[in-house]
Amino acid sequence: MRKKKSKYMNLGIRWFFLITVILFVLLVGRVSYVQLADKVEGTEIKNYVNEKYNSTQVIPALRGGIYDANGQPLAEEVNSYTVSAVLDPKASKNSKIPLNVVDKEKTARELAPILNVSEQSILDQLSKKKYQVELGPGGRRNISQDKKDKIEKLALPGIIFTPTHTRYYPNGVFASHILGYTTLDDAGNLVGEMGLEKSLNKEMTEKDGKVTYLRDRKGNILPYAKEKITPPKNGDNVNLTLETKIQSLLEDSMTEVEKEYKPEKMVAIVEDPKTGKILAMSNRPSFDPNKHDITNYTNDAVSSAFESGSTMKIFTVAAAMNEGVYNGNEYYHSGSYKIGKTTIHDVNRSGWGSITFDEGVQRSSNVAMAILLNQKLGADRYLQYYKKFGLTQKTGINIPGEVAGRLLYNMPLEQTTTAFGQGSTVTPIEIVQGAGAIANDGKMMKPYLVNSIVDPDTQKTVTQYHPEVVDTPITAETAKRERALLSTVITSPHGTGHAYALDGYTLAGKTGTAQISDGKGQYSKGLGQNYFSFIGMAPADKPELVMYVSVLKPKLQPTQLGSAPVSQIFKTVMQGALEYMKVEKTGTENVKQIVDHDSTSVPNLQGLSVDDAKSLTIGNGLKFVQLGDGSTVLGQSIKNGSKVVRGTTIYVKTDGKNKMPLMDGWSLLDVRRISDLFNLKLTTKGSGFVISQSKNSGSEIRDGDFLSIELQPPSQAENSQNKIEVKTKG
């Protein structure tokens, strides 16, 4: 007899089957969902799988480097380390040796000199209630391999190193405003913050690569899995036109002058005028890009426009020569020149009497420039040359921060002062570009400092810069003629550039002493309260280099001239650069050849009648001044046969009563010539130009008389070569 199934058993089977089907459907649905969905419960499926079964390693790339003209590194990315200290004793659990800092005082004492921070600052960090700390600014700034090795030798427990990269500038204070510096962003990447590091940050920024491979659950790399490699992209390298040896000469010289004279600012630029390549450029104050000890964020060589003073006279003379209105042997009356109610003075307010324009250039006469502008050229015609020399716009040099000078040229006074470098402003790089036209036979080259940008991975040139002619403001003939004249600024007895003469090389150049405006129409006064500058090119016949130097407010001794710090920089760098470039020395013979066109021999006047002596003197291109009322010449101030510049004054002693000349503004050399002529017993005080004399002008002068004079430098006597005196009526 069959046993009857319990209805409860049948019901249980049904429920079990139903639950199983439901679970199966849910499982199939879940699996299908997981397979089809991109994200489950907020987790990216692909990322989860990749993280679990794929390993990725970063292939680091390097930031592009900056190199000089010869491939020497000026900025590069190097291996470095961050120093940290493990403080938590739990780090040493289950370890036979301590893995945390044990002796805080000893650790601070031994690390301080290596990290260049105080013991107390390290001790403060070691006392924090943290698992691990970075050891102060010395650690965070990243240390070199050498310092890491020194710390490791100390065997200090708990000190660990994290490898990283840092930007390194091997030359320290070296073209710092050009190179700039970098900092780390939030992601730990180097980012340019100044100079080329900032302006070319995109080009120099690297992109890391990576390698990806499959692994099993235990982390083992699968034997037949293919690696996926994304190669790194190193940043592009930047090649400059800078010559490290010339730049080093400049940096060292400026550092010495900075220590000795403590000026507020200094700027210097060295250029190849044939190409426009900048071979050296520096500013003071400067800084070390490795330390970021910055007090001046401005690259004054390109970013500061100022009233440059008499260096601007080279452009006025160039314009007059090129227009055929400059006659160097023509005479004009020096000392002062009126424009409306305003009187413009030379540095010697009384002037040097009637002198030639060539002598006016040699003496840096403002009056000569005023006459050239107003009576020879005309304001409109001069403005055309001013613009053609690039003095009203940016040069376009390929470094950041350039500004343009400001032209102040509306009124007759403004037009006149612009002709001798006051009122209107220019930048040092604008002066160098314009002077390059005079050095390069009329062709003005665009200055540039970045030579090329190169992909280091492929060695392909991304960007290449080439010499570019900007304009031709003057002819080659004019350029040669002006260089010959500017060479007499160095060689002439009247020249203001004696301090800049080079050994074995001819030099053409122009000095500058500019007043400093307070922006309210007033100018600073006092010894050294000026912008002292010089623009020079050498060798004078075929210049290889143009160099500009300016020094703001040097601390001068009463007997020092403003040219002292400027010439110290100029002579050191120009002489060294020419020798480094193996430019052949020309010696004094070449100087003689260049200035011969402007020189003449002093005739023998002794025993001649005054009339014959005067005729002979003037016929030789010289000036004749009779000191006595006699009829026969007994002596002359410059020995016969001497080579002098045309226009030089010859004082003659006669057989009658001789009268003392007015010596205001005379150089000591001129005074000594008169003293020798009359066997005077001369005593002097100070240096520079005569401001007072013991014997009044017009008084009788006899052989053996006593004469005492006082001299002062131009900056002390008149504050500037560009003194403007305003007189108002009523």
Beta carbons within 10 angstroms of residue 292's beta carbon = 13
Helix (H, G, I), strand (E, B) or coil at 455: coil
What is the gyration radius of the CA atoms in the chain, in angstroms?
A: 39
DSSP string for 671-706: HHHHHHHHT-EEEEEESSEEEEESSPTTSB--TT-E
Provide the CA 326 distance to its chain's centre, in angstroms: 34
Contact between 308 and 512 (Cβ < 8 Å): yes
Residue 474 tokens read as 């003057």
**Angle at the Cα of 94 from the Cα atoms of 93 and 98, rounded to 5 degrees:** 60
- Name the residues annotated as catalytic: 310
Residue 337 tokens read as 């020149």
Residue 584 tokens read as 């052949």
Name residue 150's beta-bridge partners.
none
Burial (Cβ within 10 Å: 0-12, 13-18, ≥19) of residue 224: exposed
Encoded amino acid at 1, one letter: M
Helix (H, G, I), strand (E, B) or coil at 724: strand
Sorted by sequence, the CB contacts under 8 Å of residue 487 that are 6+ apart come out as 506, 507, 508, 540, 591, 594, 595
Name residue 495's beta-bridge partners.
none
Residue 224 tokens read as 């037949």
Encoded amino acid at 64, one letter: G
Number of residues written out for the chain = 730
629-to-610, 623, 670 alpha-carbon distances in Å: 9, 18, 21
Contact between 271 and 243 (Cβ < 8 Å): no
